[in-house]
A and B are shown apart, each in its own frame.
Chain A
Amino acid sequence: MKYVVRRLWQFVPTLAGVVLLVFFLFNWVGGDPAYILAGKIANPELIENIRRSLGVDQPYWVQLWIFVRQVATGDFGVSWATNERVSQIFATRLGPSLTVLLPLLITSTLLAMAAAMLVAYWRGSLTDRAIMIGCTVGQSISILVYILVFQYVLAYQLGWFPVQGWGGTLGENLLRYGALPVLVGVVVALAPDIRLYRSFFLDEINQDYVRTARAKGLAEGRVMWLHVLRNAAIPIATNVMIQIPGLLAGAFLIERFFSIPGIGREVILAVERSDFPVIKAVTIYVAIATMIINLAADLLYKALDPRVELE
């Protein structure tokens, strides 16, 4: 408990760093939103009027204080581009993002674990080498290529999936519109995950306790599935969890190509429009999610391996 409280306190300076970084980066390299919102003919009076209404005519320290207050209250106001409440934007975009990301993460993790355990078990064999070469090649191809090819071949040519779209019900989105985006995501994630998880399994296979288990005459299946998998699961769980916040905001290519109204697409829109309230909110949310997930991963370590001491 003491550990958790201490870690929660550490959130404060970390968040302060994120706030300062986002604020100065936006004001340094971000475009002036008034010139986007002013439309085709922007007279100085209109520009000033917009700047005033957005609050960007205030001194920097006032703007920074407003930002800090927004982080403290969780209320980031309204989008500068659409006047929609930022909280509403995230509330409505989170569902579609998770509809794709959760099946993607679960499927890719299970498949990558199974494949990694197999190739680790057959280390040095032809199968191991072939899969590793395949992974290296697969990893070196851009996600954009996977999207373009899969969309063209599987959706357009073969008609197995819709080319793009998003429906009104969870079932329809999960089974119909989400299937191809999930497939693309799984294929993209498999190559690096198999390579990484293989190394986790190899670390464990070479441990003394595995030799001991085998010497005791335990069946290979029991050694691998019970002992090796349990220990390798710790770094795998960490890896999966720290991917989640990044994937939420980073899945914009999949969301754009398949017309999924998710958070990643919204983030890109916000950047294109210099929509600072949305940019601020997504950065803070991702930072908080990352910190919470890191903490959860540490607690998970303890749950998976009682020998781990949290200090």
Chain B
Amino acid sequence: MAGAPAADPSKVLRITFQAAETGFDPVRVSDYYSGTVISGIFDPLLTYDYLARPAKVVPNTAAGLPEITDQGRIYRIRVKPGIHFADDPVFKGAKRELTAADYAYSLRRFLEPKNASPYAFLFEGIAGIETPDRYTIVIRLKNPDFNFSHVLAFPLGGAVAREAIERYGDESAARPVGTGPFRLKRYVRSSKIVLEANPGFREVLRDGRRLPLIGGVEISVMEETQSRWLAFQRGDTDMEYQLSEVATAFMTADGQLKEEFAKRGIRLERSVDPEIIYLYFNMQDKTVGGLAREKIALRRAVAMAFKAEDMIRIIRKGQSIRAHYPVPPGVAGHDPEYRSSIPYDPRGANALLDKFGYRKGADGYRRLPNGDPLALRFSSTPTERDRQYDELMKRSLDAIGIRLEIHKDRFPELIKLENQCRLMMRIAAWIADYPDGDNFMQLLYGPNSQQSNNACYRSPEYDKRYEKSRLLPHGPERDQLYREMARIMETDTAWLLIDSRYRNVLL
């Protein structure tokens, strides 16, 4: 197969970003757009077979999957010899081979305080990294973790060359040098990113054809939906997947591409994003928090009065599906059969509140069982989408006679308060960092309070199972633990799972 043709330079894929990237130094970014470019330029040790469902970890620059020993504490990986970084002046004209030391350096960078990496949390389990020979890397973990391979497949975990990072310093964000299929050809920050096929890219074949198939990718940053939509229709771009606001213009109610677009040769590919959107209650809040029966009843009643179907039908305009399980479709550990035990039932919610002493006052609003006034505080950002969330929440709480207060603040401030367990309720979203259920189930793990556990939920029963699940690879035993954990969370009603959005890709 060595004779497979190289990338066709005449084929350039033109796509758009709806928000500006921040740069291409893997340790310094956390935004999706920068990550997309980085994944084309740098190579992690492992990657995914993206066509498998759920996505499956496979070797990338590694010669094989990791050899896992010491009960999941030691990962030994061999890097394929003969892989080279893309040519760059920093290498002074010499070919620079990728070695295990490059991965050791790249992974350690995530943990260096001076880099303040947003993804340091993924690598915090590393106790030490050794490179016994030029091509072997041994990663020693603090605790057993059979799912660490997902971290090694994380696209931002690609190898950088130490000399490039040291030479370019702060400019590394604009001078990425990797071993991946593409290299940066032209870069106008926040506006245009042009990638070209890396001529020195190693031989990687798919269906007998050498990757990359195309000669380049041209990315234009277009913040406005109208600009993206018109540019796509005019043929200025080849692919568009950020058009949810105008989805009704090209899609029928049942999710099919309208005929007029199909006739023009446009195709629609639809998939559900690996994400969950959920309403959480702060379990440390004195009004809605805690595991006392009347507090659980209050949360349960709010969850039963929240019409998730309206969220999907009105706010999302049909562009999402109902979420029942904390692990979304396409992610290892998802259970398509699982159904939430929290129904939409405002009448039942009212009965529940009556039963636990939340009586209505003269003003028609309920009071706490001790007679004190009851008002729930829902936090959201001052955006159009969140204003719709406010309205839906108001309607839900009106149905059960609970007074609602809306708390408006900017996103970073909400996150700050959330991390201090000071918000009462908010609708939050989580998209997979890697397609494994652990990335979702950790959101309810007690020690992750003030970090990713925004409900500040602490359940010994949940935590015990979660700790056990971390010692297991994806499989029936871990799936069973996940189901039990989901039911525990529902029983305590720390969250109400709402939906996962569709990604509509026009080609």
Q: Would you call B419 an interface residue if the criterion is a C-beta within 8 Å of the partner chain's C-beta atoms?
A: yes
Contact A166 B191 (CB under 8 A): yes
Give the complex CA separation of A258 and B226 in angstroms.
10
Q: Would you call B230 an interface residue if the criterion is a C-beta within 8 Å of the partner chain's C-beta atoms?
A: yes
Q: Shortest distance in angstroms between B202's beta carbon and chain A's nearest beta carbon?
A: 30
Give the complex CA separation of A133 and B433 in angstroms.
57
Contact A35 B191 (CB under 8 A): no
Q: Shortest distance in angstroms between B139's beta carbon and chain A's nearest beta carbon?
A: 20
Q: Would you call B60 an interface residue if the criterion is a C-beta within 8 Å of the partner chain's C-beta atoms?
A: no
Q: Chain B contacts of A40 at CB under 8 A?
A: 30, 118, 430, 433, 452
4 closest cross-chain pairs (CB), A and B: A39-B118, A39-B30, A31-B412, A261-B191
Q: Chain B contacts of A83 at CB under 8 A?
A: 23, 25, 28, 170, 173
Knowing A41-B452, A259-B221, A274-B412, the reply to whether A155 touches B230 (Cβ < 8 A) is: yes
Give the complex CA separation of A49 and B27 in angstroms.
15
Contact B227 A258 (CB under 8 A): yes
Give the complex CA separation of A46 and B220 in angstroms.
32
Q: Would you call B450 an interface residue if the criterion is a C-beta within 8 Å of the partner chain's C-beta atoms?
A: yes
Contact A82 B227 (CB under 8 A): no
Give the complex CA separation of A91 and B83 in angstroms.
38
Knowing A37-B116, A83-B170, A166-B192, the reply to whether A257 touches B224 (Cβ < 8 A) is: yes
Q: Would you call B188 an interface residue if the criterion is a C-beta within 8 Å of the partner chain's C-beta atoms?
A: yes
Q: Enumerate A92-149 residues with CB–CB distance to B below 8 Å.
A: 92, 148
- Kindly identify which residue among A35, A84, A159, A258 contacts B174, using a CB–CB cutoff of 8 Å: A84
Q: Helix, strand, loop or mixed for chain B's interface?
A: mixed
Q: Chain B contacts of A49 at CB under 8 A?
A: 113, 116
Give the complex CA separation of A44 and B120 in angstroms.
13
Q: Chain A contacts of B121 at CB under 8 A?
A: 41, 43, 46
Q: Enumerate B219-236 residues with CB–CB distance to A below 8 Å.
A: 220-224, 226-227, 230-231, 233-234, 236
Q: Enumerate B437-457 residues with CB–CB distance to A below 8 Å.
A: 448, 450-452
Which residue among A39, A50, A78, A260 has the maximum number of chain B CB atoms within 10 Å of its CB? Answer: A39
Nearest residue (CB) in B for A256 is B223
Q: Would you call A245 an interface residue if the criterion is a C-beta within 8 Å of the partner chain's C-beta atoms?
A: no
Contact B23 A35 (CB under 8 A): no
Contact B221 A84 (CB under 8 A): no
Q: Would you call B459 an interface residue if the criterion is a C-beta within 8 Å of the partner chain's C-beta atoms?
A: no
Give the complex CA separation of A276 and B220 in angstroms.
26
Q: Chain A contacts of B142 at CB under 8 A?
A: none
Contact A82 B173 (CB under 8 A): yes
Q: Would you call B92 an interface residue if the criterion is a C-beta within 8 Å of the partner chain's C-beta atoms?
A: no
Knowing A37-B116, A40-B118, A261-B189, the reply to whether A148 touches B412 (Cβ < 8 A) is: no
Known: A37-B118, A44-B419, A47-B419; 5 extra A-B contacts, CB below 8 A, are: A31-B411, A36-B412, A82-B173, A163-B236, A164-B231
Nearest residue (CB) in B for A252 is B223
Contact A156 B221 (CB under 8 A): no
Q: Chain B contacts of A37 at CB under 8 A?
A: 30, 116, 118
Q: Chain B contacts of A41 at CB under 8 A?
A: 118, 121, 448, 451-452
Contact A50 B116 (CB under 8 A): yes
Q: Chain A contacts of B22 at CB under 8 A?
A: 81-82
Contact A156 B190 (CB under 8 A): no
Give the complex CA separation of A113 and B274 in angstroms.
58
Q: Enumerate A21-58 residues with CB–CB distance to B below 8 Å.
A: 31-33, 35-44, 46-47, 49-50, 53
Knowing A53-B114, A259-B220, the reply to whether A151 touches B227 (Cβ < 8 A) is: yes
Task: Please list the residues of chain B having a beta carbon within 8 angstroms of any beta carbon in chain A.
Answer: 20, 22-23, 25, 28, 30, 113-114, 116, 118-121, 170, 173-174, 186, 188-192, 220-224, 226-227, 230-231, 233-234, 236, 410-413, 415-416, 419, 430, 433, 448, 450-452
Q: Enumerate A244-300 residues with CB–CB distance to B below 8 Å.
A: 256-261, 265-266, 269, 274
Q: Chain B contacts of A257 at CB under 8 A?
A: 224, 226-227
Q: Shortest distance in angstroms between B247's beta carbon and chain A's nearest beta carbon?
A: 18
Q: Shortest distance in angstroms between A196's beta carbon and chain B's nearest beta carbon?
A: 30
Q: Would you call A171 an interface residue if the criterion is a C-beta within 8 Å of the partner chain's C-beta atoms?
A: no
Nearest residue (CB) in B for A262 is B191
Q: Would you call A17 an interface residue if the criterion is a C-beta within 8 Å of the partner chain's C-beta atoms?
A: no
- Kindly identify which residue among B25, B224, B416 contacts A32, using a CB–CB cutoff of 8 Å: B416
Q: Chain B contacts of A74 at CB under 8 A?
A: none
Q: Chain B contacts of A82 at CB under 8 A?
A: 22-23, 173, 189
Q: Chain A contacts of B170 at CB under 8 A?
A: 78, 83-85
Q: Chain A contacts of B231 at CB under 8 A?
A: 163-165
Q: Shortest distance in angstroms between B453's beta carbon and chain A's nearest beta carbon?
A: 9
Contact A152 B188 (CB under 8 A): no
Which residue among A53, A256, A259, A260 has the maximum number of chain B CB atoms within 10 Å of its CB? Answer: A259
Which residue among A151, A162, A269 has the maximum number of chain B CB atoms within 10 Å of its CB? Answer: A269
Contact B451 A43 (CB under 8 A): yes
Contact B234 A156 (CB under 8 A): yes
Contact A152 B412 (CB under 8 A): no
Q: Chain B contacts of A256 at CB under 8 A?
A: 223-224
Q: Chain A contacts of B416 at CB under 8 A?
A: 32, 35
